[in-house]
């Protein structure tokens, strides 16, 4: 496949070559200014390959001077093209000095050095992953070049009072002309993508943390004055993360200070720069008045995530960007475990699986499908995907399941010990985990190399005469782009068998000792199909399969509905209770979509399960809330072809409303019983109750407009954002006469609070009503919406495109046009964000012919535009490949 116009050339994993030149030491001096910053670099370079010319990455730089070993180079001694600085005659070792000028305030791509906020009030910061450092200084900007950095920042003291860079502080002072300086030394060799600096007017809060190794560490969180009061929760989360990583994985922090900075202008969630994490404010600021319970948990997770990267990513980094999942899959897994240990394991697992289904399974089913470790890419920014992150974490989780908790820990210890201070590969990771446990994990490489969602078929048969239960498991993975034939994968299937009374049976496979029988075990399916025979099973059992979602597969089981209903009531694994309920929902959904009346007995069985979870005070309220919340439209459409999103919506709504009507009296009761909560508490137990109360409210409002007063009263009374937003959503969803007044009140109440207004935008953008399209169009000119701010974009056109299938896929094509216009506009500003939005069109081939044609037309219209960014050209080109 060749690249479309505007795209970068494709790079291949198989072409990897070790760097011909290396950099041992880096000295940087910045004269910081929003309009024009001067960067002086002094690089000590070594030549490993005598035949290779010196070629440095350099983008959007104005080169002022270049010296080698102190001598200024003449214009004929080097060449500077769009992205490359070449010095043909250079021979190492040598010292290269460069001086360049850059313009942070004009940098709307938000990669390299840029300005957050306004020219007068804002602050300067950097974003270097994946390839942003080359926009700061000419460099070998690749992750397998690890160097020691010494960085001096100079700037006007009044305008930029706070100066920060990676590592330990190494002096500061005045320059006499109103400017000041600060120096930082980072003792840990690092790749350039982990470089960071921050300069500006920032406030801070500070604590001291003593590591298990006895190191005293300053923890400092910095934010602008209006936000610093909302950093306390993040500080608490950071301390918990540091302690948890010591206790669970034996990992301690390794510098004298750990800085965290919040910005409103960021394309992603947050960034793990060594000792100087930079966060999208959305994942750092939280208090009950301006952040929901979910936001509080996201802050916990992301603060943990970035901190955990200090080992999984920074101390051991990636050899190249094909190995991105090495750091991201492992770190997402660590983050999941952190939140699971601190808050609710069942809730986190359900949310992760929902995300996997919605974002990753659908990615895997379209033209943008790629392996967790891609073997080629044109623009690496486009590979920060659900596949690399979420499926990458699932693979690590499976390894954790097969190795066991202690075995996994041993493996990870060896991985960190072996590769500390180096750049590693997925092969290295599997080798370390395998060597520490005396097993060969090389078959697991297939999970990293093969795209597509495996289908796992399970069928059971009880043999009364031989008193055994036979479970047959088969796997199949459909072709994906460039991979017509798939290999069998090692699939761990965690299983329990329940008898009619709901008791877990001892699981002994034919031929095994009786005394080893456990009540839950993991079967490994490592070929196309296998049959497992359990002995001493007197009656036909109910199998609970894939417990805890032990593998990222699409499970097709022949379990009859009554057995699923039994699991949804009694399974001892909270996740599988929910999972069994979801399996029932999917059967009802299939009937409704086919146009038939859903099977009454099946419907009754399902609603009874949800009802019993609602009534049972012993059930985790968070689990009950999740059981009340059925899968989203995208997940329900998984595996379908010729999708009609309007029909999907109607079928789903019928089931969702049916549930609410059937349970109305129980909902009223439970809602009232949960009335008395501490509105300002955010501990997991209170959050869980609030979650259930708001799920009850939403369901009641769906069931009957007569419940509107409940929502109105909650809106008026709400003392925290969770309750206020839930009430507003309920009013909007039922098109209550007071919905518009409440929307206006909300905007006024939170005017000036960008993060809260983003939620207000999103709520309207995701309303499952075709008219959301007009609403979004009107909001795009709201004074609080700025095209240059990624959070605004994700909250409004982004939420519409990616989380409102009914309106985005409007049959008149207006939704598509709106989003395509937004993408083209954004591409000139923030290409990374434009490309992300464009993935909304990726699944176009899976829709019914009319929508398919409309989506294709928009894709072609966008591709026909001149001067597309490489980011957008890559997504459009791959989406249309083969047409
Ligand atoms: N590496 C970041 C993470 O923790 C994500 C990121 C990628 C942020 C690229 C900015 C740019 O997942
Ligand atoms: Zn990460």
Q: What is the pLDDT of residues 579-602, one digit of tens each?
A: 999 999 999 999 999 999 989 999
CA dihedral for 187, 190, 192, 197, sign (positive or negative): negative
What confidence tier does 806 reach under pLDDT thresholds 50, 70, 90? very high
Check residue 291 and give its pLDDT.
98
Which residues make Cβ contacts (< 8 Å) with residue 573, sequence separation at least 6?
A: 496, 520, 544, 547, 548
Q: Which atom of ligand 1 is nearest to the CA of 266?
A: 10
Element of type H or E holding 116: strand 112-116
Q: What share of the chain is helix, strand, coil (3-state, %, to 5)?
A: 45, 20, 35
For residue 2, pLDDT over 70 is answered with no
pTM of the model: 0.98
Pocket test for ligand 1, best of 109, 126, 128, 129 (most atoms within 8 A of CB): 129
* Cβ 579 vs Cβ 549: under 8 Å: yes
A 10 A CB-CB count for 387 gives: 27
Overall size of the chain counted in residues: 883
Check residue 6 and give its pLDDT.
86
Check residue 772 and give its pLDDT.
98
C-alpha count within 13 angstroms, C-beta hemisphere, residue 30: 32
* Cβ 289 vs Cβ 679: under 8 Å: no
The Cα angle at residue 807 between residues 803 and 808, in degrees rounded to 5: 65
Q: What is the pLDDT of residues 435-492, one digit of tens each?
A: 999 999 999 999 999 999 999 999 999 999 999 999 999 999 999 999 999 999 999 9
Q: What is the mean pLDDT of residues 34-45?
A: 98
Q: What is the mean pLDDT of residues 565-577?
A: 97
Q: What is the mean pLDDT of residues 416-421?
A: 98
CA dihedral for 412, 418, 420, 426, sign (positive or negative): negative
Residue whose C-alpha is closest to residue 28's, from 15, 40, 12? 40
Check residue 163 and give its pLDDT.
99
Check residue 392 and give its pLDDT.
99
For residue 515, pLDDT over 80 is answered with no
CA dihedral for 796, 801, 805, 810, sign (positive or negative): positive
Q: Which atom of ligand 1 is nearest to the CA of 132?
A: 11
What confidence tier does 828 reach under pLDDT thresholds 50, 70, 90? very high
DSSP codes joined into one string, 756-767: HHHHHHHHHHT-
Q: What is the mean pLDDT of residues 308-334?
A: 99
Q: What is the mean pLDDT of residues 372-388?
A: 98
Q: Which residue has the tokens 């070049």?
A: 145
Secondary structure string (H, E, C) spanning 530-594: EEEEECCCCCCCEEEECCCCCCCCEEEECCCHHHHHHHHHHCCCHHHHHHHHHHHHHHHHHHHHC
Q: What is the pLDDT of residues 708-763, one digit of tens each?
A: 999 999 999 999 999 999 999 999 999 999 999 999 999 999 999 999 999 999 99
724 lines ligand 1 (CB under 6 A): no
What confidence tier does 771 reach under pLDDT thresholds 50, 70, 90? very high
Q: What is the pLDDT of residues 541-565, one digit of tens each?
A: 999 999 999 999 999 998 999 999 9
Average pLDDT, the chain: 97
Report the distance separating Cα 138 and Cα 99, nearest Å: 9
Report the distance separating Cα 377 and Cα 518, nearest Å: 46
SS3 category, 180: strand
339 lines ligand 1 (CB under 6 A): no
Q: What is the mean pLDDT of residues 640-660?
A: 98
Q: What is the pLDDT of residues 152-179, one digit of tens each?
A: 999 999 999 999 999 999 999 999 999 9
* Residues, beta carbon < 5 Å, ion ligand 2: 328, 331
306 lines ligand 1 (CB under 6 A): yes
Identify the residue whose C-alpha is closest to ligand 1 atom 5: 271
For residue 37, pLDDT over 70 is answered with yes
Check residue 637 and give its pLDDT.
97
Element of type H or E holding 859: helix 849-864
Catalytic residues: 306
| Ligand 2 centroid from CA 374, angstroms | 17
Output the furthest CA–CA distance in the chain (Å, rounded): 94
Check residue 532 and give its pLDDT.
98
| Ligand 2 centroid from CA 273, angstroms | 11
Check residue 170 and give its pLDDT.
98
Q: Which atom of ligand 1 is nearest to the CA of 328?
A: 12
DSSP codes joined into one string, 52-103: --EEEE--S-EEEEEEETTEEPPGGG-EE-SSEEEETT--SSEEEEEEEEE-
Check residue 655 and give its pLDDT.
98
Report the distance separating Cα 577 and Cα 566, nearest Å: 9
268 lines ligand 1 (CB under 6 A): yes
For residue 657, pLDDT over 80 is answered with yes
What confidence tier does 244 reach under pLDDT thresholds 50, 70, 90? very high
Torsion angle (degrees, nearest 10) of CA 283, 289, 292, 298: 20
* Cβ 792 vs Cβ 761: under 8 Å: yes
Which residues make Cβ contacts (< 8 Å) with residue 388, sequence separation at least 6?
A: 324, 325, 328, 329, 372, 374
């Amino acid at each position: 496949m060749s690249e479309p116009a505007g795209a970068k050339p494709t790079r291949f994993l198989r072409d990897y070559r070790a760097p011909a030149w290396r950099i041992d030491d880096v000295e940087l001096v910045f004269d910081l200014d929003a309009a024009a910053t001067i960067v002086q670099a002094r690089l000590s370079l070594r030549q490993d390959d005598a035949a290779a010319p010196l070629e440095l990455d350099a983008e959007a730089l104005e080169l002022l001077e270049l010296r080698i070993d102190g001598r200024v180079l003449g214009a004929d001694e080097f060449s500077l093209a769009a992205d490359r600085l070449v010095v043909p005659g250079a021979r190492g070792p040598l010292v290269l000095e460069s001086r360049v000028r850059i313009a942070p305030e004009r940098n709307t791509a938000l990669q390299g050095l840029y300005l957050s906020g306004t020219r007068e009030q804002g602050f300067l910061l950097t974003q270097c992953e994946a390839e942003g450092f080359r926009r700061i200084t000419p460099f070998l900007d690749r992750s397998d070049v690890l160097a020691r950095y010494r960085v001096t920042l100079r700037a006007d003291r009044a305008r930029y009072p706070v100066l920060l860079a990676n590592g330990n502080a190494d002096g500061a002072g005045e320059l006499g002309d109103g400017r000041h300086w600060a120096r930082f030394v980072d003792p840990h060799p690092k790749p350039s993508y982990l470089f960071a600096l921050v300069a500006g007017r920032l406030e801070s809060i500070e604590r001291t943390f003593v590591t298990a190794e006895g190191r005293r560490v300053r923890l400092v969180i910095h934010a602008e004055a209006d936000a610093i009061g909302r950093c306390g929760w993040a500080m608490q989360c950071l301390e918990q993360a540091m302690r948890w990583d010591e206790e669970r994985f034996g990992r301690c922090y390794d510098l004298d200070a750990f800085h965290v900075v919040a910005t409103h202008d960021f394309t992603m969630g947050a960034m793990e720069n060594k000792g100087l994490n930079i966060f999208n404010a959305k994942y750092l600021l939280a208090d009950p008045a301006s952040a929901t319970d979910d936001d509080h948990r996201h802050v916990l997770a992301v603060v943990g995530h970035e901190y955990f990267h200090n080992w999984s990513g920074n101390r051991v980094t990636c050899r190249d960007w094909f190995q991105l999942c090495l750091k991201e899959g492992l770190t997402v897994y660590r983050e999941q475990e952190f939140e699971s240990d601190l808050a609710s394991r069942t809730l986190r697992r359900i949310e992760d699986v929902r995300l996997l289904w919605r974002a990753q399974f659908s990615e895997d089913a379209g033209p943008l499908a790629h392996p967790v470790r891609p073997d080629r890419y044109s623009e690496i920014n486009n590979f920060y995907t659900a596949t690399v992150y979420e499926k990458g974490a699932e693979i690590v989780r499976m390894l954790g399941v097969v190795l066991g908790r202690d075995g996994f820990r041993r493996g990870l210890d060896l991985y960190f010990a072996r590769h500390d201070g180096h750049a590693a590969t997925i092969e290295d990771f599997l080798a370390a985990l395998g060597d520490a446990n005396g097993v060969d994990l090389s078959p697991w490489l297939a999970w990293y190399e093969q795209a597509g969602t495996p289908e796992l078929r399970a069928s059971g048969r009880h043999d009364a005469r031989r008193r055994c239960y036979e479970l047959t498991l088969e796997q199949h993975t459909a072709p994906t782009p460039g991979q017509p034939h798939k290999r069998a994968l090692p699939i761990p299937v965690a299983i329990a068998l329940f008898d009619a009374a709901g008791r877990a049976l001892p699981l002994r496979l034919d031929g095994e000792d009786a005394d080893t029988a456990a009540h839950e075990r993991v079967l490994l399916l490592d070929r196309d199909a296998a049959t497992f025979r359990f002995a001493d099973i007197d009656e036909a059992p109910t199998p609970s399969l894939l417990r805890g979602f032990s593998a990222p597969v699409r499970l097709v089981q022949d379990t009859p509905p009554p057995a699923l209903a039994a699991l949804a009531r009694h399974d001892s694994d909270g996740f599988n209770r929910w999972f069994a309920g979801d399996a029932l929902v999917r059967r009802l959904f299939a009937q409704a979509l086919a146009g038939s009346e859903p099977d009454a007995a099946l419907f009754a069985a399902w609603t009874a399960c949800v009802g019993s979870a609602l009534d049972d005070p012993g059930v985790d309220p968070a689990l009950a809330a999740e059981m009340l919340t059925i899968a989203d439209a995208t997940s329900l459409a998984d595996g379908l072809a010729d999708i009609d999103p309007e029909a999907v919506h109607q079928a789903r709504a019928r089931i969702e409303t049916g549930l609410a009507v059937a349970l109305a009296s129980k909902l009223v009761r439970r809602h009232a019983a949960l009335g008395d909560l501490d509105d300002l508490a955010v501990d997991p137990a209170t959050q869980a109750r609030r979650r259930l109360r708001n799920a009850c409210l939403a369901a009641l409002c769906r069931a009957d407009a007569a419940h509107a007063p409940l929502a109105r009263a909650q809106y008026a009374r709400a003392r925290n954002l969770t309750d206020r937003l839930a009430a507003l959503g309920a009013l909007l969803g039922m098109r209550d006469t007071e919905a518009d007044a409440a929307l206006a009140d909300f905007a006024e109440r939170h005017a000036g609070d960008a993060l809260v207004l983003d939620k207000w935008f999103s709520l309207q953008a995701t309303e499952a009503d075709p008219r959301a399209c007009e609403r979004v169009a009107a909001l795009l000119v709201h004074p609080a919406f700025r095209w240059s701010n990624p959070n605004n974009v994700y909250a409004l056109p982004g939420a519409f495109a990616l989380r409102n299938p009914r309106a985005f896929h409007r049959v008149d094509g207006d939704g598509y046009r709106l989003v395509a216009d937004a993408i083209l506009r954004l591409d000139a500003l923030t290409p990374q964000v434009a490309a992300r939005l464009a993935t909304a069109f990726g699944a176009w081939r899976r829709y019914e012919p009319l929508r398919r044609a409309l989506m294709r037309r928009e894709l072609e219209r966008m591709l026909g535009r001149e001067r597309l960014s490489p980011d957008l050209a890559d997504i459009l080109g791959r989406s249309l490949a083969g047409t």
